[in-house]
Structure 1
């Protein structure tokens, strides 16, 4: 894609984000100093529309960016402004004290919403399709341990388990090996059936 066409796409994105109104060739020529006529801009906009990067929402002569246009804008045009020291410290302070991954994610969502003044939504990977990557058992006391489950999607779940009898490190190591041998690589809905055999052993 030519630099001129990219500059026109940039102008359309900038104008639409600022006004939320379809953008016409005259507005681009008047406000963005590209040094080309509205007629030339219209020709380039026709190419951008054919490529699926902008669209005409109704009978208005203006155009708006499509999802593909925004994606190209982010990937090839927009430069990322480095965070200042003050901004870094503010973000670090905001995230300090997070208890777990879920807490970090929710704090990050609130931060994004505050910064962008837009609604921020988080979507976790589907747990139904996730597979077990590893299970770790950590002794907390002789009658209490923590189970940490890591999925192939990177999700981490942890639970504290209260035991009816005291157990030692040898028992925990044996149980850890049995669980990983039985569950690693299997989807979460399959875990319940496979763990039944381990329960029978112990």
Structure 2
């Protein structure tokens, strides 16, 4: 192995040992624990070069070294082998998610699963409505003057709205309304559907114009984003277990997680399904997250429906975390787009 490869092997050994022990790593430990086939002196020289390059650093009181953000970045960029989930873990993921009854349940379960698999904080964004398509609109007559609209999207979202019309409608009129609304909505992206519904009252037969106006108003509200339902968070207690990784800044990280806008921005950046993004320490735009690492991915087939990921200390098991985030996102995507 050439000098560059050997130095990367030393860096990889320091990352692995520091992640598992939380103790700074010395050259003797590397020689003892990792079969690099070189002397302690060579490892010390390599560590000196890695330190000069800013990839590892020496904590004040210790003879050992720890990885820097730049060191973790090089490690992540050169991970050729992401640790795959074991077949037992894959089965557990599938069984746990297959038991979900609706979209809310799928997202709640995926957050719990990600938090358990990675021992970090997990976040999942609700499917972005702008990327969703109307699968079906059902119009149910509850009483002669009251209708219930049930809107189902391709992301598994179900919205119900009851509309009081003020006037009594005959069954035949309800059927005409159902057909007109279905033609305007079904198979369309939500933004297009909203525009199509807004135009309906202008072109409707005179006798249906008033009820259609009532229905269109309610539907347009339904087709717009609900910001309060934007994300699900789980496993916050996992951060407190590694509070020593956040000297003086754990509270900031927790506050940033509560500040949903910050996390939504991170998840919204996950534009590619299946492509995992890792932001390490100082790479995070949000100042409160600069002692943390954020691993995110988009879920859904093709254009992602939303993003999911984990937030944890920079001292994290990157191969295992990347693998877990990738696997859970894939299953969630399959469940939601397969419905």
TM-score (norm 1): 0.67
Alpha-carbon separation, structure 2, partners of 1:77 and 1:135: 37
Query: Contact between 1:135 and 1:180, CA under 8 Å: does it hold in 2?
Result: yes
Are 2:144 and 1:163 equivalent residues in the alignment?
no
Q: What's 2:240 paired with?
A: none
Q: 3-state SS of the aligned residue for 1:42?
A: helix
Are 2:111 and 1:139 equivalent residues in the alignment?
no
Which digits, 9 at most, give the CA deviation of each residue in 1:111-156, with x for residues without a partner? 233334x23321538x9xx783455251153433333578xxxx87
Which deviates further from its counterpart, 80-89 or 19-28?
A: 80-89
Alpha-carbon separation, structure 2, partners of 1:8 and 1:34: 8
Unaligned 5+ residue runs, structure 1?
A: 185-190
Trace 1:146-157 onto structure 2 (pairs within 5 A): 146-148=150-152, 157=157
Q: 3-state SS of the aligned residue for 1:144?
A: strand
- 1:11 deviates by 0.8
Query: Contact between 1:139 and 1:172, CA under 8 Å: does it hold in 2?
Result: no
- 1:161 deviates by 1.8
Query: Contact between 1:6 and 1:77, CA under 8 Å: does it hold in 2?
Result: no
Question: Equivalent of 1:72, from 66, 71, 74?
Answer: 74
Alpha-carbon separation, structure 1, partners of 2:57 and 2:200: 60
Q: What's 1:22 paired with?
A: 24
**What's the Cα RMSD here?**
3.7
Q: 3-state SS of the aligned residue for 2:121?
A: coil
Evaluate the alpha carbon distance shift between residue 57 and residue 121 of structure 1 in structure 2; reply closer, same or farther with a 3 A threshold: farther
- 1:90 deviates by 1.9
Unaligned 5+ residue runs, structure 2?
A: 142-146, 166-173, 203-212, 214-339
- 1:17 deviates by 1.8
Q: What's 2:181 paired with?
A: 172
- 1:4 deviates by 0.4
User: For this pair of structures, how many residues does the alignment match?
Assistant: 184
Which digits, 9 at most, give the CA deviation of each residue in 1:162-196, with x for residues without a partner? 2335463332146539x969x45xxxxxx9xx99x
Q: What's 2:120 paired with?
A: 119
Trace 1:84-95 onto structure 2 (pairs within 5 A): 84-95=86-97
Evaluate the alpha carbon distance shift between residue 20 and residue 157 of structure 1 in structure 2; reply closer, same or farther with a 3 A threshold: same
Q: 3-state SS of the aligned residue for 2:123?
A: coil
Q: 3-state SS of the aligned residue for 2:92?
A: helix
Q: What's 1:105 paired with?
A: 107
Q: What's 1:187 paired with?
A: none
Alpha-carbon separation, structure 1, partners of 2:98 and 2:156: 19
Q: 3-state SS of the aligned residue for 1:21?
A: coil
- 1:93 deviates by 1.4
Evaluate the alpha carbon distance shift between residue 84 and residue 30 of structure 1 in structure 2; reply closer, same or farther with a 3 A threshold: closer
Evaluate the alpha carbon distance shift between residue 172 and residue 52 of structure 1 in structure 2; reply closer, same or farther with a 3 A threshold: farther
Evaluate the alpha carbon distance shift between residue 12 and residue 103 of structure 1 in structure 2; reply closer, same or farther with a 3 A threshold: same
TM-score (norm 2): 0.44
